[in-house]
Chains A and B, each alone.
Chain A
Amino acid sequence: MTKLPANLEHLREIGQARLNARTPRVTVGYGTCGRAAGARDVYETLGEAFAAADADVVLEKVGCRGLCHAEPLVEVYFPQGGHFAFGNVDKAKAAGVAEYVLGRAARSGANGAGGGSAADAPCPSPEDLPEVLVGLLVDSGILAFQERRVMSNCGEIDPDSIEEYLARGGYVALASALEGDPEDVIAEVVDSRLRGRGGAGFPTGEKWRACIDGEPGERYVIVNADEGDPGAYMDRGLLESDPHRVLEGLIIACYAIGAHQAYFFIRAEYPLAVETVRRAIEEARAAGIVGDDVLGSGFPLEVGVVRGAGAFLCGESTAMVNVLENKPCTTRPKPPHLSERGLWGAPTCINNVETLANVPLIIANGADWFKGAGTPESPGTKIFSITGAVARGGLAEVPLGVSLGYVIGDIACAPDPYAVQIGGPSGAIIPAELSDLEISYEGLSGRNGMMGSGGFVVIGRDQCVVDTASYLVHFSARQSCRKCALCRDGLDESARILDLVTAGEATEADLERLGEIAERNCNSKLCGLGRTALSPVLSSLHYFHEDYAAHLDKRCPGLVCRGLVSYAIVKEKCQGERCCLLTCPGNAIKGPFGKPGRIVSRLCQKCGMCIVTCPYGAVKKVSPAV
């Protein structure tokens, strides 16, 4: 068993004391989602209540557990082992949680005849929760369906605390890697068959090995945290919730490759992630984990942070290197590969955040343990960010190889799924009916797109796949560096045709042309992004031809495409109260008060206010437009 240096052992004990306190520990999810949902108010309310009662309670800000649908999330851990997760907590409910925790602490104090600690009280059970709190309990089902390895610390520890990371077994993998030969580290990662989690799925160990094949000399490792896929935020979740795990993976990668300088390349749109990583690097430096002499091994390493500025293309490795060299954001032709000539001409390895977060687990537990989850071709787990028309959205980590239906149904609880957009703008749009489809690198290929980085957007029946495809193509057209004609013109023409389709003005010939362009580009030799940018079109034309055909008939089945829908009042439901008229900007609702109204198309601005205003659900959308 590898031992940590004495200073880290000391920090680890501090962390352990905090995580296993003999007092109740209350945590508030303080990631971006939590804050947006109001975590600050909740945290302050809890803090004031505990301070006012002068209570022996540990209150901590933690990262994101991935239960974004339930934010703000407050969790209570009791020293005797009980644990509750309360979801959608607001100020008033936070006061209720504080009251409960204080009440229990007081009771256990009394039980112990004044001198006893809270730990001696019996384990709390849901039965003795006050009724108001029972309603807040988060259905833990979503966690039971997962296999949380990479995310095992997320939402459970304070991301700003290296002590707590150490208490959870952190940096032991690094210490053991440093005891061995760099080649042993590479061999273990090759053996694990870990594949890049950023999109393409290239074997990580082989990528590392390619970097050491050339001449000895300067080398770089870059963490790709420029998570640009709209609809995906796995990397943000990891960086904000467990930055040291990513940092540990990075340091191990640097040791394996022999790089003495590494960079995090993080989106500027993720200011909290940027700050959290910067703090983690400083903490690690203070503890001797980063710097001239990593953990006393003699291996020197510096780690810097560079912020991206909102360009999807920067995630393409050669474009990222260009930007890091202060050049314009365009791709470079390959070869030479970055492993031969990368940043400043030196061999360079770019790894995704989630990829690196897997590395400490592989080194600590071995390649065979890693392969215990997933399929032979796609071992391990993958985090998906599940969003869209779902009841339980958030980050979910599942073994690769699970079925589409499992994620849509068991994890996301999607009420009426129609399609799924997997893998972002480079991925595909797939029917939800394909519930047996295996989610793995091999299952998601060809017309099923690619695994991508983990975006998983469920499209409901009241949404439109053609509109979604159009949205993604417009996105890619904006993000193209526009250097190669095939990519630039192909995307522009596709975007134009899709505009016609969603306006109900396209013809069969247009659709054929769209299919041709998509086939052509997806089979071209363009860069990774150019080649895959029309994958949403290729897949949706194949699986959802009927939806496209309906648009040719000026009908949008999901009632989304503005030009193809109009609003109508259902006479049987309308009570004639005209609440709708109060919010109608066009004054488009006519008819005598007390009688069912009608909407004058000429005046209607299609804003949909009438639908949200009507208490009787008497307004509906129809397509084709009348």
Chain B
Amino acid sequence: MPDDVRKTGSVAGGPDAPDTAACVRDAVDAIIERYPDKTGRLLNVLNDVQERYRYVPEAAIERISERMGVSKGQIVGMGEFFNYLSLDPVGRCVIDVCDGTACHTQGAPRLVAEFEKALGVKAGQTTEDGLFTLRTVGCVGACGIAPVVVVEGDAYGRVRVMQVPAIVSAAEEAQAL
């Protein structure tokens, strides 16, 4: 699935190297410049911020609010309503278990339980070492190969419960590199 697009989001924004508020403001300004057309600008900007930092930081919310004349409350509300946006920092490696209809009927809930066990966190949470975030997501549109798990943009299809430990250790190794 997301081939290289989502990976480009993992620039200096990880929990290890938090940008200062000033950097965030500059980055947000640059992102806003990309969208001269007012139509859909807020969502486009929020998506770009999400891709840049992997979540929408507080400083970004403030800057967007100032620049675009939208209340902070509304931006937070959108951050909570839209599944793709996150208001909390995520781990260096995000594991998305697809829970669309096809994946659900093909056993996605069992996969979620297995990942929860392997990582020691519940879906929606990040491991203490900041390495993994486990999430369930709506349909990623790869229903033909359900159930699907997306690890940092790389999709695994037809995943069996048995393969969960191997997926986690492969992700750990990739992060260690």
A323:B162 contact, CB within 8 angstroms: no
Q: Are A231 and B102 in contact (CB under 8 A)?
A: yes
CB distance from B36 to the nearest CB of A (A): 10
Fill in one digit per residue for A34-48: 1 if any B CB lies within 8 Å of its CB, else 0: 011100000000000
Residues from chain B with a CB closer than 8 A to the CB of A431 are none
Judge whether A457 is part of the interface by a CB distance below 8 angstroms.
yes
User: Does B171 count as interface, using CB distance less than 8 angstroms?
Assistant: no
Tell me the bound Cα distance from A268 to B141 in angstroms: 12
Q: Which residue of A306, A309, A387 contacts B39 across the interface (Cβ within 8 Å)? A: A306
Cα distance, A607 to B44, chains bound together (Å): 41
Q: How far, in whole Å, are A463 and B1 apart by their CA atoms in the complex?
A: 27
Contact flags A468-512 to B (C-beta < 8 A → 1, else 0): 100110010000010000000000000000000000000000000
Known interface pairs A309-B85, A608-B161; A236-B141 also in contact (CB < 8 Å): yes
Within 8 A of A (CB), among B20-79: 37-44, 46-47, 50, 68, 70, 74, 77-78
Interface assignment of B105: CB less than 8 Å from any CB of chain A: yes
Asked whether A324 lies within 8 Å of B40 as measured between CB atoms, the reply is yes
Per-residue CB contact flags for chain A residues 322-351 toward chain B (1 = under 8 Å, else 0) read 011111110000000000000110000000
Chain A contact residues, majority secondary structure: mixed
Are the C-beta atoms of A328 and B78 separated by less than 8 Å? yes
A326 touches B145 (CB 8 A): no
* CB contact under 8 A between A311 and B81, given known A33-B144, A36-B142, A269-B137: yes
Could you tell me the distance between the alpha carbons of A310 and B50 in the complex, rounded to whole angstroms?
A: 13
Beta-carbon contact of A304 and B39 below 8 Å: yes
Known: A306-B39, A328-B81, A329-B81. Is A271-B105 also a contact (CB below 8 A)?
A: no
Min CB–CB distance B117 → chain A (angstroms): 7
Would you give the shortest CB distance from A326 to chain B, in whole angstroms? 4
User: How many angstroms between the C-alpha atoms of A372 and B84 in the bound complex?
Assistant: 42
With the chains together, A490 CA to B101 CA distance in Å? 21
Chain B residues with Cβ below 8 Å from A272 are 1-3, 5
A585 in contact (CB, < 8 A)? yes
Tell me the nearest residue of chain B to A38, going by C-beta.
Answer: B157
Given A269-B138, A328-B74, A585-B117, A231 and B42 touching (CB < 8 A)?
Answer: no
Task: Report the minimum CB–CB distance from B30 to chain A (whole Å).
Answer: 18
Q: Give per-residue flags for B134-156: 1 if the beta carbon is below 8 A from chain A beta carbons, else 0.
A: 00011111111110100000011
Residue B19 is within 8 A (CB to CB) of chain A in the complex: no
Residue in chain A with minimal CB distance to B42: A326
Shortest A192–chain B CB gap in Å is 28
Check B144 against A227 for contact (C-beta < 8 Å).
Answer: no
Look across to chain A and name the residue whose beta carbon is closest to the beta carbon of B98. Answer: A230
Count the B residues whose beta carbon is within 8 Å of the partner chain — how many? 54
Q: Please report which residues of chain A, range 312-328, place their CB below 8 angstroms from some CB of chain B when the two chains form the complex.
A: 312, 323-328
Determine how close the nearest CB of chain B comes to the CB of A220; give it in whole angstroms: 8
Q: Is the CB of A471 within 8 A of B157?
A: no
A268 with B47: CB separation less than 8 A = yes
* Residue A609 CB within 8 A of the other chain: yes
Q: Judge whether A84 is part of the interface by a CB distance below 8 angstroms.
A: no
Q: Which B residues touch A308, using CB under 8 A?
A: 43, 82, 84
Is A326 in contact with B41, judged by CB distance below 8 angstroms? yes
Identify which of A269, A329, A471, A613 gathers the most chain B CB atoms within 10 Å of its CB.
Answer: A269
A385: CB under 8 A from chain B?
Answer: yes
Q: Given the complex, which residues of A lie within 8 Å of B46, measured CB to CB?
A: 309
Of the stretches B10-18, B87-95, B106-114, B122-130, the one at the interface is B106-114
Q: How far is the CA of A329 from the CA of B46 in the complex (A)?
A: 14
Whether B104 lies near A468 (C-beta < 8 A) is yes
Q: Which residue of B lies closest to A395 (CB)?
A: B144
Contact with B along A292-317 (1 / 0, CB 8 A): 00000000000010111111100000
Is A534 located at the chain interface by the 8 A CB criterion? no
Chain A residues, Cβ within 8 Å of B105: 388-389, 457, 459, 463, 468
Tell me which of A323, A388, A475 contacts B106 (CB under 8 A): A388
A233 with B39, Cβ < 8 A, contacts A457-B105, A459-B105 known: no
Q: Are B101 and A455 in contact (CB under 8 A)?
A: yes
In the complex, which residues of chain B have a beta carbon less than 8 angstroms from the beta carbon of A231?
Answer: 100-102, 139, 143
**B157 pairs with A37, CB closer than 8 A:** yes
A32/B1 contact (C-beta < 8 A), A326-B42, A326-B68, A607-B113 known:
yes
Q: Given A309-B47, A388-B106, A607-B110: A263 and B144 within 8 A (CB)?
A: no
Q: Are A312 and B138 in contact (CB under 8 A)?
A: yes
Q: How far is the CB of A440 from chain B (nearest CB, A)?
A: 22
Q: Which residues of A contact B137 (CB under 8 A)?
A: 269, 310
30 contacts between A and B (CB under 8 A): A32-B140, A32-B141, A33-B144, A36-B145, A36-B148, A37-B145, A227-B141, A230-B100, A233-B141, A271-B3, A272-B3, A274-B5, A304-B39, A306-B39, A309-B83, A311-B81, A323-B40, A326-B68, A327-B74, A387-B143, A393-B144, A424-B101, A457-B143, A468-B101, A471-B101, A607-B113, A607-B117, A608-B161, A609-B162, A613-B162
9 pairs of A and B residues whose beta carbons are closest in the complex: A68-B144, A306-B40, A310-B83, A231-B101, A230-B100, A36-B155, A310-B84, A309-B82, A271-B5
